[in-house]
Amino acid sequence: MKYAVLACLSILFASTALEAQTTQPVAGKDYAEIPNGKPLDPVAGKIVVEEMFNYVCPACFRFEPRFDAWTKKLPPYVAVVHIPASFRPDFVQYAHAFYAAQAMNLVDKTHQAVYDAVHTKHTLPAEGQKPDEEKIAAFYANYGANQADFLSAMKSFGVDVKVRRATEYMTRAKVPATPSLVINGRYLVKGNTDEEMLQIASALIEKEHAGK
């Protein structure tokens, strides 16, 4: 009986070890390595998770609740950063709006609200619709911004530089679409579903943490 128990335990441990081994992300399949990669804006002492998104993107709207719930469970050595994409003409104004809101410390108050206004309430221009900077600025006025000041910030040189810098960064990282995740500037996450993306991201965070 003793030997039978030991044999069962050996099989169990071997099975567990194999399962742990198979859950490790595979380069080329689960993620793409970014040569000489580093975060767009490194955070001292933190592993940076960058989400490439745009408010007008339906897939980003679908992904946001899962991503938000996932970020709340991350360890304290991880920093989460949103980077707005400007791949298409209807993305550009929202990328400018994000950085204008960031400059006014409004992102935390407005991030989900912008998604809702675009995709649920339909009070802001959606995918394929004509961009409307005035309407976007009026929306942010509901959250403490002066409408004229916000519109001016959207068109400012500083915001334009941030949008162009983000675009160049995504081009270097070969980000194919939104939403996308990059871990510490080094790994572009792949995955066929939202859940798979987040599982791979979690594994890459631990891989990066273990290497420090």
Cα–Cα distances in Å, from 137 out to 98, 145, 146, 181?
11, 8, 8, 28
| Structural domain that includes position 102 | 2-210
The structural domain count of the chain equals 1
- Which CATH number fits the domain that encloses residue 10? 3.40.30.10
Cα separation of 83 and 9, whole Å?
Answer: 47
17 pLDDT above the threshold of 80? no
User: Given pLDDT bands bounded at 50, 70 and 90, which one contains residue 212?
Assistant: low
The string of pLDDT tens digits covering residues 105-129 is 999 999 999 999 999 999 999 999 9
Which value, in Å, is the radius of gyration of the alpha carbons in the chain? 21
Alpha carbon of 202 to those of 76, 83, 96, 125, 147: distances in Å?
A: 13, 19, 30, 34, 39
Q: What is the pLDDT of residues 186-202, one digit of tens each?
A: 999 999 999 999 999 99
Model pTM above 0.85: yes
Tens digit of each residue's pLDDT (9 = 90 or more) over 63-72: 999 999 999 9
Task: Tell me: pLDDT of 20 over 90.
Answer: no
Q: How far apart are CA 150 and CA 14, in angstroms?
A: 59
Does the pLDDT value for residue 19 go beyond 70? Answer: no
DSSP code per residue over 86-135: -SSHHHHHHHHHHHHHHHTT-HHHHHHHHHHHHHTS--S--TTSPP-HHH
